[in-house]
Structures are given as structure tokens and as C-alpha cells.
Amino acid sequence: MSRGLSKVFMKKLKRKKARTLPLLEIPANIEELARLVEQNEGPHLEFKRTTGELKEGLQTLCAFLNDKGGIVLFGVNRKGLVEGQQVSEQTMHEITAALERFEPPAPVEIGRIKVGRGREVIALAVRSNAETVPFTFESRPFQRVGNTTRKMSQHRYESLLLERAYARRRWENQPAEGVRLQDLDREEILRTRAAAIEQRRISAETGRNVGDILDRLGLRIDGQITHAAQVLYGTKFLPYYAHCVLKMGRFRGTAVTGDILDNKQEHMHAFAMVREAMAFLDRTLPLSARFEEGRIFREDRLPVPPNALREVILNAVMHRDYSDYGGYIAIAVFDDRIEVRSSGRLPAGVTAHQLSGPHLSRPRNILIAETFHRTGAVEIWGRGTNRVIEECRRYGIAPPTFEEKQGFLIVTFRSPIGPAVRQPESQPESQPESQPESQPESQPESLERRTLRFLQVGPLSKAELSAQLGQKKISGHLNKVIRELIDQGAVEYTLPDKPSSRLQKYRITKVGKNMLQEKS
């Protein structure tokens, strides 16, 4: 039957000389179909005998989508003989339903070419689209190698995902549905304008109309607020922007299983996130002092250079993957290190190891990074991590490490944060650090100093302080010392509006840190 049909097919072909058909164009008639079939299977053409091989044919179509496009012909056998098949309404329904298994939705052209004797060839054609590659079919990506279709490697798939982030259609430049101009932080936008003018990175003639400012920054397109504008200046984040979140935690010990001394989670825009992260580190990290030779003034020092911390936090805020609605930025402080975590993998071609040396800048979020650059907060030359390393070396600590883990980039600064020596509870009572509180209470200054030292690690409640001091219950002397420290401005409430709250904790202030250093 196939031979007979092919003979009929070739007779019709000889009656008319067909034009040369472009490879990705669906044939309009049997003559054009013949010219296409003559090109044989290859990187952009696949034959399937019937739609009984629909699944395999659509896997190949997925591979074409992930390359430069192509056509799958149903009704042509592997030898290139046109047999055709009977095509019913049910056949077309099955094809249409199967096309819904592509992710993202694939633009597929469908053609039907009559080849005689009530039979047809079905042609499915796709064109390349770099803005939406990679595609998957039934949750699996495929690629074309010669005239065969193979499952795409995970590494290749992830690389294409990253490349898609740099295409013209990115998450950050898409409309932020439901976000209005009045929903943005006007004062922050004006601060950006002032800083950009000062840095000469925006025209001094730029007015104070926030809509015009957003237009100049590329954050409003055709009158629509973009996702980037919402990330940079938004004021409302729930429920649709819940991933614009900063997590901050102080853990006792060296693992997340240790006691949590401080735990905060805040939804906020990018500029506020940088400020809040630095404020958290400022009040959480211990402050030490040193006197440089030949100078009479002391130098107050954090365990890690603030400029290095700020640079890493800026990078985390600018370059994280905001298209991941389960992502976040986290700052975790342990006794021996500080970790800054941000969701999203590094761009294709950039490894964690390369961040410790010269590398090109390839921002994931071009609009967000450019806005920070205009304020003078960052450069755009890929030198940020190198400056962090140099700053740490000048400071006398080890450079940070960079690691990709479970879809996050983790930057780790190693430096002593908690107490240098931790005394076990069974130590002899002659050692002050583990004595019951009843003994040092006769020395108010000692109790004051110990209270400040424990609060330097992070905010604590009275009960937590009492336990740290070795007391079985909160003593009257401890209450008195806390009141005196609050009066002196050395300690403050974490809930100032609710001083008697059961959730109340106390944290050390800069005054308290200075008092602690003086007593040292």
C-alpha cells in the first residue's frame, strides 16, 4: 500500500515543478512536501510513520525548540517514503492535548497535507526562540544531536535557564500586575535621584516626578511598573512578592541546630534590605578595640570589615534570582563565622572558584544592578568580590569562601564571633565564668560587665540572661542591673512600646559596647 501511495504521490509531483521550500516552512501541497522529504532526516527534520509515535515526535519537537527550530512529519516512514495516515477529529484533539505538555507553552504550527487515497501527512513546525529556551516536554528537556533526539543533560538545561535570564524578556522587566505608582516608596526614589545626580549618572535636569524618574531608570515601560521597580521600591509584598524577604539569625555555637539568640524575617525593598542587614550585623557582632602604634586614639573593630560585608550584601540583593518565588536572602551569624546566602546559581561560565579572581561582570538583574550603580553603591566591572578579598587581607582576616549549594550562593566569612572560651557547667566554682550568680552578685560591676558581654552575642530575655549567668531563677540583683543599664543607655528594649511583654528581650547599644571595652 505504501508503495502504491508513493507512486501516486510521485506522479502528482512530476506534473508540476515545485519551488524550493525553506526548511522551517510547512509544505502547502504534495509537491512542496516532496522537496522537503528529499532533504532527509537531520538536525531540523524528523519523520514519523504515524501519530502512534506522537510522544516520540513531540520529544523531537522539544529538541527543535531548544535549538534552531525544525519540523516533524507524521505519515512519512524512516526510509523517506510518504505513506500518509487517516486523520480524524480525534487525531487532531490528541495532538492539541499533547501540545499542552510543553513548558513554557510552545508556539507550534500545525499543517495537514493531503497525499491521496484519503490519507494525509501532519506537519508540526517550530521556530527558534532564545527568549523562552529551554523548553521541556512532560517535564523533561530534550536536545537534537544529528538526526537523533536525546534527553538533555542537567548541566546543559541549567545553563540554558541562565541564558534565558539574560534574554530580552526577563522577569525583572515584565509588568508588576496590580502595582501602582503610589504603592512605591517615593522618598527612596527621590534619594536614588539625588545620589545619581551627585554621581553624574543621571541628568541634573531630571525632575522630582517619580514617574519620570522611573522612566529614566528603565523601571517603567510604556507606563507600566516593572517587577524591578517593585523589588527596588515596593512597600507591599504579600501575597505576590513574598520572596522579597530578608532572614536574619544569630545562632549560639557553630551550627543551625544551636540555640537561636536572635531571629528576624522582614519583607522589604532592596535598598531597605541592605540597610537593615547592615544594622542587624552592627548590633549583633561584637565590637573590639585596638591602639595602633604611635596613636593615642583607639580603633573600634568588628570581626569582619564592614565594607566587605556591605559589598557582599549588595551583591546578594542585586544578583539573586527573583524569578524564584521560594527564594530569599539570609544572614546567619554563628560563633565562628558569618554566612550570607542568596537564592540563584551563578551565570553560565562563571564558577564559585572564579569569584576569588578576575572575572567578567554578568548581572542577572540588569535593571536592578544598574539602578544601584547609578547611586554609586557599586561598580559594574566584576571587581566587587576582588575588593572584598583585598579588604579582608588588609583587615588581617582570611578572605571569604564562595560556594554554590542547593540553588544558593553562600559567602562565608570566618572570624571569631562568640566568646573565645566556653566554660562547661562542671567547672570548679573558683572560675568566675561558671560560678553561681550568688557569688559575683556581691560585685555589681562584674555582673554588669557579664550582662553586657552576653548581650553582645545577641538579644536575650531576662530568663535567658539568668540561665547564662548560672542562676536557677531571675534574681533581684539582675533586675536592678538591667534597670541601671537601661537608664545609662547601655541596653535597650527590643519591644520598647511593651516593656512588660513576655516576649521582651534586651540588646546592647553602642554605648554599652563602649562601656564593655572600657572595662576590659
Higher pLDDT, 405 or 10: 405
Residue 257 has pLDDT above 60, yes or no: yes
Average pLDDT, the chain: 83
Q: Is the peptide bond before 399 cis (omega within 30 degrees of 0)?
A: no
> How high is the pLDDT of residue 463?
83
- The one-letter code for the residue type at 101 is R
Contact 36, 24 (CB under 8 A): no
**Higher model confidence: residue 201 or residue 58?**
58
Distance of CA 442 to the CA centre of its chain: 53
CATH architecture of the domain formed by 447-518: Orthogonal Bundle (1.10)
**Does the pLDDT value for residue 297 go beyond 80?**
no
Q: Judge whether residue 2 has pLDDT over 90.
A: no
CATH 3.30.565.60: which residues of the chain? 245-290+300-414
Where does the chain hold its CATH 1.10.10.10 domain(s)?
447-518
The answer to whether 214 and 225 have CB atoms below 8 angstroms apart is yes
Q: How many CB atoms neighbour CB 24 within 10 A?
A: 17
Q: How confident is the model at residue 168 (pLDDT cuts 50, 70, 90)?
A: low
Long-range contact pairs involving 397-402 (C-beta distance under 8 Å, separation at least 24): 397/303, 397/304, 397/305, 399/356, 400/308, 400/312, 402/352, 402/353, 402/355, 402/356
Q: What is the mean pLDDT of residues 441-455?
A: 65
CATH topology of domain 245-290+300-414: Heat Shock Protein 90 (3.30.565)
- Residue ranges, comma separated, of all CATH 3.30.950.30 domains in the chain are 30-153
Q: Cell numbers at residue 183, please?
A: 504603592
**Mean pLDDT on 212-234:** 94
Helical segments of 326-461, H only: 366-374, 384-395, 444-457
CATH fourth-level superfamily of 30-153: Schlafen, AAA domain (3.30.950.30)
